[in-house]
Chains A and B, each alone.
Chain A
Amino acid sequence: MTAGARRQASRFARPGVLVGGIALVAAVPLITDDIYYQNMAILTFLLAIIASGWNIMAGYAGYVSLGHSAFIGIGAYTAGITAQRWGVSPFVVAPLGGVTAALVALLLGLVTRRTRGAAFVIVSFALLQLLGLIARNWTSMTEGSKGLLLPLPTWSIAYQYWPFYYALLGLLLLSIVMSAAIKRSKLGLGLVAIRDDEDKAAGIGVTTPLYKSLAFIASAVLVGIAGAVYGYYVGFVEPGAMFDIVLSVEAVLAALLGGRGTVWGPVLGAFLLEPLSEVTNSHLGGSNAGAFRIIIFGGLLLVVTLVLPRGILPGATDLLDRIRRRDRVGVVGRRLSEAPVPQAPASRRADAGAASEVLLRVSDVSKRFGGVRALDGCTFDVPAGSITALIGPNGSGKTTLFNAIDGGYAVSGGQVEFGGRPITRLSRTGRTFAGIGRTYQLPRLFGSLTVLENVAAASGQFSLRALARSAVSGAEAARARELLDFVGLGDYLSARAGELSYGQRKLVELAQVLMLDPELIMLDEPAAGINPTLISRLAELVRALNETGRTFLIVEHDMQFVLSLCDPVIVLSRGTVIAQGHPSEISRDHEVVEAYLGEDYVPQPVPAAAAT
């Protein structure tokens, strides 16, 4: 999304066009003194601001809200009440509307700790209704359904609605600038990662509660200020109009029409939708205008979903791309370059782990799913500096164990210690920052990000400053490129991750984990679906990283890979450790052979010279 969007931004928002467009819009009140058009423009700006804010929460972070106009109501009421009590102009207290809206958004953000997807849509709608109820019943504050009367404008009538017009235009420009800045930043990259796969994002160092809180505040604050201005504009604030679902739905429709997740899409959508709504109100259906409007908007939504499922801007960009790319060859897998194994930097975490002999201690860990015991009193140690293998039949609990270690699952019993400290209570991201990184058996990449962005999104250390930095830049980007070069995907940097083959996605995920620079690297079947030549390079890389002090825990069925690389080998069967030891012992262990390798297999030694 972002690479395409950037290209699209440069195409649609070249500076000249941009400045010209703004000048034109700014000049409208000077050209015409028709109040009708000023009113239409004011409502368009308002809708564009709501849609743009909604887009940060729903388009970037993936939390679709059906109550975004609530922030308009909150802003309007805050400004109305304070202006009345303090006897000042609502313009003066408009920023307070933004603050209140941001606080409410922060509360709504807390809900997302437990609620996602469709449930969040309902929660956001409920918030809108709840605020309406409060406004209706807290009469000492809001004057209930009677409504709150705001002071009359104090400026000369010759200026008509100009102050409202320019205030909202300014807020709209600010919204666009903020939306673009977020999209370009590390924060924006993290938000898209959250949208694509929130749990995975937490596992690569995206502190999801913080990212979401920032996104929710950003999506509400300007809408709240705009609400204050709007309240002043209509002069009369009452619950029905201020907490109206229709405005929320219009904002959603505008964003979907123009292109969700893009900077300009919601604005474009609002500029198309609001005038259309005015036309249907005044020229169609007469007394039945309301019904006509619903039919036209409903029909429009239908057409958008069918013809332009991703909206006008992304649709247009895709089309242009397809035309430009016609007859061009795509990138395809090549033979591996002779590039050396990328140098493993010295571990940043020299302090931890080195102290103790055991890096990871799993004690009596169990995990039940309903009546099924996936892990049953699992106990073992991963020595610091080792390459430990975890083998066992399909369904023996290897991946469940990975999830118990990295925080994907809460264990039903037992204790996990990392570097001597218990980590069972740490969050997913907390364990990532502590130094645990893992890959998945079926790679989980962020499908709408490019390959390079996928890798650059990973970060093993928390830094508040980094959030504002450009998403893919500097030393990080260089490191990401180097890692991708190593896994043979240097030609694919700007390919969308969703377009890659299984093996390629696996390799991108490996690069992603290496980007975290974890102390314990857990690989879930790293060799499955990988070309044999690359497997031996993979083994070289594991050894090189191991020599710099990184510890590995590897689940793998490729016995050649396991037995030549790993020591010790831990064998899991039915959720319990049934054997552990040196590879040569394991491959002769009767129980292991029976449980895992099959009775009709016998181990055969080959000349020691071949061993590494």
Chain B
Amino acid sequence: MIELRAVAAGYGGGDVLQGVDLTVAEGSITCIVGPNGAGKSTVLRAISGLLRPRQGQITFAGEPIGGWPPARIIAAGIVQVPQHGGLFGDLTVRDNMLLGGYVIRRDRARIRRRIAELEGAFPIIRERSGDKAANLSGGQRRIVEFARALMLEPRVVLLDEPTLGLDPRASQLVFDSTQLMQQLGATVLMVEQNVRFGLKLASHGIVMERGRVLLADNADALLRRSDISALFFGSGAADAAPVEVVRS
């Protein structure tokens, strides 16, 4: 679905991505993990067009999209959910949803149908429709962001640390909602520092380090690799805590 070949990109202080090669399979949930500053978020920004790659190729369903402006990439079907602060706090949940359909605002019937569909999948959109987004809890806000990202029926959703700052309950909600997005037909590419959470949720994992892809594999296989675990997932990632909270 998405392919990066030898992509180099950076912010002015030099290249952060130093030749990234990766593939995101259609219909998958792919999770990028790695140390802080390895370039994970930068990969998402390069795909969504927020950062123009300096070198290399980015293709989406076979079409080269590297260097396209963000609006064109959104129109092509790739939507990014930013790390934080993505909702307009002074607007209602419904207005935020409508903004998600801004580029198709003239097609009112489609917008109405789409909101109705998403209300079915994410009941909170209906329940809190008239509330200001700022009055929602962190987890609820994240779900509204997810739903808004789906307004345009994107083929790919990019999630930048979806559980950041969320309590355990809200994280579970994010877990379920991400799976729901996939079931609704979106391919998901996410960055997550909560490595075990991310790889449990994902079907595929990509480990990045120093602006390059170190390896890519099935998420389960990555979780089982003890060498990788020790380096990136925390020492003895599997069971180091005196008390672990697990799902019944």
A: which residues have CB within 8 A of B? 321-322, 325, 328-336, 392-395, 441-442, 488-489, 492, 495-496, 499-504, 507, 525, 528-536, 557-560, 563-564, 583-584, 587, 596-598, 600-606, 608, 610-612
Contact = CB atoms under 8 A, between A and B. Distances in A.
Nearest to B214: A335
Given A335-B209, A531-B34, A602-B246, A560 B241 contact: yes
A495 B36 contact: no
Contacts of B231: 335, 533
A538 to B, nearest CB: 10
A28 B170 CA distance: 73
B154 interface: no
Nearest to B195: A532
B179 interface: no
A454 to B, nearest CB: 15
B241 A564 contact: yes
Interface residues of B, number: 55
Contact of B15 (A330, A507, A597): A330
A333 B245 contact: no
Contacts of A499: 11-13
Given A332-B211, A529-B36, 11 more contacts: A325-B12, A325-B13, A330-B11, A500-B37, A503-B37, A503-B193, A528-B165, A531-B36, A587-B245, A598-B172, A610-B236
Given A531-B34, A532-B234, A601 B246 contact: yes
Interface of B: 10-16, 18, 34-39, 41-42, 83-84, 137-139, 161, 164-172, 193-196, 209-211, 231-237, 239-248
A596 B168 contact: yes
A54 B240 CA distance: 58
A602 B234 contact: no
A532 B233 contact: yes
A601 B18 CA distance: 42
19 contacts: A329-B15, A330-B11, A330-B16, A332-B37, A334-B210, A336-B35, A442-B84, A499-B11, A504-B36, A531-B234, A532-B195, A532-B232, A536-B235, A557-B171, A559-B245, A584-B243, A606-B242, A610-B241, A612-B242
Contacts of A507: 36
Contact of B244 (A394, A488, A560, A612): A560
Contacts of B39: 332-333
Contacts of A393: 137, 167, 169-170
Contact of B164 (A335, A496, A529, A534): A529
B199 to A, nearest CB: 11
Nearest to A502: B83
Given A332-B18, A532-B234, A535-B234, A501 B37 contact: yes
B138 A394 contact: yes
Given A333-B39, A559-B168, A596-B169, A532 B12 contact: no
Nearest to B39: A332
A534 B194 CA distance: 12
Contacts of B11: 330, 499
B134 to A, nearest CB: 11
Contacts of A611: 241-242
A502 B10 CA distance: 16
Contacts of A392: 167
Nearest to B38: A333
B35 A335 contact: yes
Given A332-B211, A393-B167, A598-B169, A531 B13 contact: no
A113 B46 CA distance: 43
Contacts of A557: 165-168, 171
A493 to B, nearest CB: 12
Contacts of A533: 35, 231-235
A334 B36 CA distance: 8
A318 to B, nearest CB: 8
A219 B194 CA distance: 49
Q: Which 4 A-B pairs have the closest CB atoms?
A: A330-B14, A333-B37, A532-B234, A394-B138
Nearest to A498: B11
Contacts of A529: 36, 161, 164, 193
A401 to B, nearest CB: 15
Contacts of B236: 610
